[in-house]
A and B are shown apart, each in its own frame.
Chain A
Amino acid sequence: MTIAGYRIPPLASLLFWAVIWEIVGHLGIVFLFPPLSSVVMELGQVVGSSTFLGAAWMTVESFVLGLLLAIAVGVPMGLLMGRFNAADKLLGMWVNLFVSAPLSALVPIIMILFGMGQATIIVTVFMFAVWIIVLDTRAGVRDVPNSLNEMARSFGASGWQQLTKITLLAALPEILAGIRLGVVRGVKGVVIGQLLVSIVGLGELFELYSRNFLMEEFWALTLIVFAFALGAAELIAILERKIDFYAGVRHG
């Protein structure tokens, strides 16, 4: 972006809104928005507290477990759907339904099934993340050039060799893209799940802060969650860029 001939670095917009936030905070018009500076001051306090550390640990653990489960189920399911038309017909409708459905509405049902604890959070993360992984994996498998499959067959590849040496690797760019989107959705899942259960993890903290109008703490926690979501997605994006060299040339 340029303004009056000057190049504005991308981070400038962030800075701009930070300043607006600070000013609004100091004006004291809306008590929900304390100045950014006091939120940032509070950040250290929140992070240092033992309640936060416990909640954060529980959140990260639920998130990682739910995501691993989503990958372990989503990738094989996507492979099946990409490879076999019967599987695609059987599952396609459901996957497409779930990928666009407002899954928050299902959390109360998950709560009934899995109780008011960590299991519910893990299942929620799973439900949020798995469908996009399935869809992207399926797309990746469908996109494997036919000649690569013919090549493997002509040199005598078994079905298993074809899957592990060709299909999985050729579809890797799409699989990773699916996992990255799954990470983003999984963070939503872990937060929404905890908010709805609201007696465990960060959900409990959010509940505590907002009920007691501890707005500095509330916003500090929000900033942490946002940073976590961005960071986790960026980690996968780094992996994606590593294999970019062949995603881009595959069809050339």
Chain B
Amino acid sequence: MIAAVMTRPREVAPVAPEASVEVRDLCKVYPTGTEALRGINLTFPKGQFTSLLGPSGCGKTTLLKIIAGLVPATSGEVVVNGRTVTKPGPERAFVFQDFALMPWATVLRNAAFGLELRGVARSEREATAKHYIDQVGLAGFENRYPHELSGGMRQRVGLARALAVKADVLLLDEPFSAVDEQNRRKFQEDLLQLRQVENKTLIFVTHSIEEAVYLSDRIVLLSPRPGRVSDIIEPKISRERSPEDIRRDPEYLDIVEDIWRGLRNYAD
């Protein structure tokens, strides 16, 4: 009893949430001389949904690709789970804007591709892929080919593929920009649902303010040319309610309006 009391103050002390991904003094200058990012310092807490939001040309996709290890940084470093990374690794998975599905492969093989590359036995990887295909709502489509699916369904395959490798960090590059409006809304809701089941750190690039506010715990606002962090917003929106209620919530609308006012300066 006494021991419990003694330890108590330490337990309630406001400990900063454990960082999953850290970006330190990151700069990116392209060989052409274009400065894409300047002095980016960011922490992505474990289990949180962070959006990178900004006008086109602010380097948000570049930042995401540097975190993914697909694009080299000019200076600075990216730390994932305590280790500095410069290449892609199994603890990160990427969801692509244009889906990046192999047109010659079925949904099942596409979803299992990350595991196939790792040399996981066929039956095992197909069982895992099947599980995530079900989870993203594509049960029954395992043997279809990408060209037989709608844009929204294709991106669901891309999401299943990223989930199947069981990475801690999910990097999503404008995943809904090539998906039509009604499917996008449904997909956003499903993504929120999925968050409850899968405890992942999500880093999400978008240019849609509404999308960022609706989905994220934290929004990192980037300013363009060169990209810098201009603000970090934490929309404290309760996600217990129905999607319709959230979208009508005055607080939600206020945050959208605030961000819009901040970004208005950058509108062409």
Chain A residues, Cβ within 8 Å of B102: 148, 166, 169-170
Binds B, one of A79-87, A88-96, A154-162: A154-162
Residues of A within 8 A of B92 (CB): 154
A245 interfacial by beta-carbon distance below 8 Å:
yes
* Cβ A150 vs Cβ B117 within 8 A: no
Task: List the count of A-B residue pairs having beta carbons below 8 Å apart.
Answer: 67
**Contacts A152-B117, A154-B93, A155-B165: A245 and B70 contacting too (C-beta < 8 A)?**
no
Q: Using Cβ atoms and an 8 Å threshold, which residues of chain A touch B146?
A: 249
Whether a CB of chain A sits under 8 angstroms from the CB of B176 is no
User: Closest chain A residue to B115 by CB distance?
Assistant: A155
Chain B positions 77 through 106: 1 when the CB is less than 8 Å from some CB of chain A, otherwise 0: 000000000001110111011111011100
With an 8 Å Cβ cutoff, the count of chain B residues facing the other chain is: 28
B73 on interface, CB distance cutoff 8 Å: no
Contact present for A246 and B113 (CB under 8 Å): no
* Minimum CB–CB distance for A252 against chain B, Å: 8
A169 to B96, CA, bound (A): 20
**Chain B positions within 8 Å of A169 at CB level:** 102, 104
CA distance A166 to B100 in the complex (A): 11
Give the residues in chain A near B90, CB-CB below 8 Å. 156
Kindly name the residue among B89, B90, B114, B161 whose own CB sees the greatest number of chain A CB atoms within 10 A: B114
Q: Does B118 contact A (CB under 8 A)?
A: yes
Q: Which residues of A contact B69 (CB under 8 A)?
A: 154
B236 within 8 A of A: no
7 smallest A-B Cβ distances: which pairs?
A246-B103, A151-B100, A155-B114, A249-B147, A147-B100, A154-B94, A154-B88
Can you name 13 extra interface pairs (CB under 8 A) apart from A150-B100, A155-B113?
Answer: A147-B96, A148-B102, A150-B70, A154-B69, A154-B70, A154-B88, A155-B118, A165-B116, A169-B102, A243-B104, A246-B103, A246-B104, A246-B145
A and B contact pairs by CB, cutoff 8 A, 15 listed: A153-B70, A154-B69, A154-B93, A154-B94, A155-B93, A155-B94, A155-B113, A155-B165, A156-B118, A161-B117, A165-B117, A245-B145, A246-B104, A246-B147, A252-B147
Residues of B within 8 A of A (CB): 65, 68-70, 88-90, 92-94, 96-100, 102-104, 113-114, 116-118, 145-147, 161, 165
